[in-house]
Structure 1
Amino acid sequence: MEELTEFGQELQENTVYVNPEKSTMDDCTSIRFTGKNSILVIEDGVNIRNSEIIFDGSNAVVYLSRNKHTYRLAIHAHSNTCIYIGRDNYFNGRATLITSERQNIIIGDDGLFSFGIYVRTADPHLLYSCDTKERINESKSVLMGDHVWIGQGALILKGSSIGSGSVIGGGAVVSGKAIPSNTVAAGNPAKVIKRKIFFSKECVHNYGKKKSDRYKRMDSDCWIYEPEQNEYNLKNVDCHLCRSKSAEDKLAIIQRELVNNTEKNRFYIGEKQPSKKFRFRFWR
Structure 2
Amino acid sequence: MQPNSKQNGAGPAPKTQTIREYGDVSAIRNNVVHLQDTPGSEFIGSSIEFAGTGNVLFVEDGSRLRNCRLRFMGNDAVIHLRKSHGFLRLIATVFEESVFYLGPGATFTSEARVLPTERKHVIVGSDAMFSSRVAFRTADPHLIYSVQDRQRVNPSQSIWVGDHVWLGEDTLLLKGSRVGSGSILAARALITKNVPSNSTAAGVPGRIVSRGIFSTRPSVHGFTEARTAQSLVHDGDEFIYSADGNVTDMKLLEDELGAATSGIGRAAWCFQLDQLEGKNRFYIV
TM-score, with normalisation over the residues of structure 2? 0.91
The correspondence of residues 1-284 of structure 1 with structure 2, limited to 5 A, is: 1-8=16-23, 9-10=25-26, 11-22=28-39, 23-26=41-44, 28-175=45-192, 177-256=193-272, 258-270=273-285
* Deviation at residue 95 of structure 1 after TM alignment: 0.3
DSSP-derived class of the 2:62 partner: coil
Residues 49-75 of structure 1, C-alpha deviation per residue, up to 9 Å, x if partnerless?
A: 011000011100000101221011100
Q: Which runs of 5+ in 1 are unaligned?
A: 271-284
Q: What is the CA–CA distance in structure 1 between the aligned matches of 2:47 and 2:187, rounded to whole Å?
A: 29
| Contact 1:45–1:68, Cα closer than 8 Å, also in 2 | no
User: What SS does the corresponding residue of 2:247 show, helix, strand or coil?
Assistant: coil
Size of the alignment, in residue pairs?
267
2:8 counterpart residue number: none
Q: Is the deviation greater in 233-242 or in 166-175?
A: 233-242
Q: State percent identity of aligned pairs.
A: 34
Report the 3-state secondary structure (helix = DSSP H, G, I; strand = E; otherwise coil) of the residue aligned with 1:194. strand
Q: Select the structure of larger CA radius of gyration.
A: 1
Q: For 2:173, what is the secondary structure of its paired residue?
A: strand
Q: Which amino acid aligns with 1:138?
A: P
Q: Is the contact made by 2:133 and 2:170 (CA closer than 8 Å) also made in structure 1? A: yes
Q: CA deviation at 1:112?
A: 0.6
Q: Which amino acid aligns with 2:154?
A: N
Residue type at the aligned position of 1:24: E
Report the Cα distance in structure 2 between the residues aligned to 1:29 and 1:6, rounded to whole angstroms. Answer: 8
Distance of 1:126 and 1:136 partners within structure 2: 8
Distance in structure 2 (CA, Å) of the matches to 1:58 and 1:108: 25
Taking the aligned partners of 1:80 and 1:239, their CA distance within structure 2 comes to: 14
Tell me the secondary structure at the aligned position of residue 221 of structure 2. coil
Deviations 1:149-198 (A, max 9, x none): 011011100010000000001001011x1111000010111111100001
Work out the CA distance in 2 between the residues paired with 1:247 and 1:171. Answer: 34
Structure 2 residue matching 1:250: 3-state secondary structure: helix
Give the C-alpha shift of residue 45 in structure 1.
1.7
The code of the aligned residue for 1:4 comes to I
Q: CA deviation at 1:116?
A: 1.1
The alignment partner of 2:269 has SS state of: helix
Q: Is the 8 A contact 2:246 2:277 kept in 1?
A: no
- The whole-number CA distance in structure 2 between the counterparts of 1:32 and 1:209 is 48
> What's the TM-score, normalizing by structure 1?
0.92
Where 2:208 maps in the other structure, the secondary structure is: strand
Distance apart, 1:230 and its partner CA: 4.7
Residues of 1 paired with 2:281 and 2:115: CA distance? Answer: 24
The aligned amino acid for 1:78 is F
2-side partners of 1:173 and 1:18: how far apart? 33
Q: Measure how far apart 1:255 and its partner are.
A: 1.0
Superposed CA RMSD: 1.0
Deviation sequence 1:236-279 (CA, Å, 0-9, x none) = 222211221101111111111x1111311111111xxxxxxxxx
C-alpha distance in 1, partners of 2:256/2:168? 30
Inter-partner Cα distance in structure 2 for 1:241 and 1:178:
20
- Structure 2 gaps, min length 5: 1-15
Deviates more, 1:200-209 or 1:226-235: 226-235
| 3-state secondary structure, aligned to 1:205 | helix
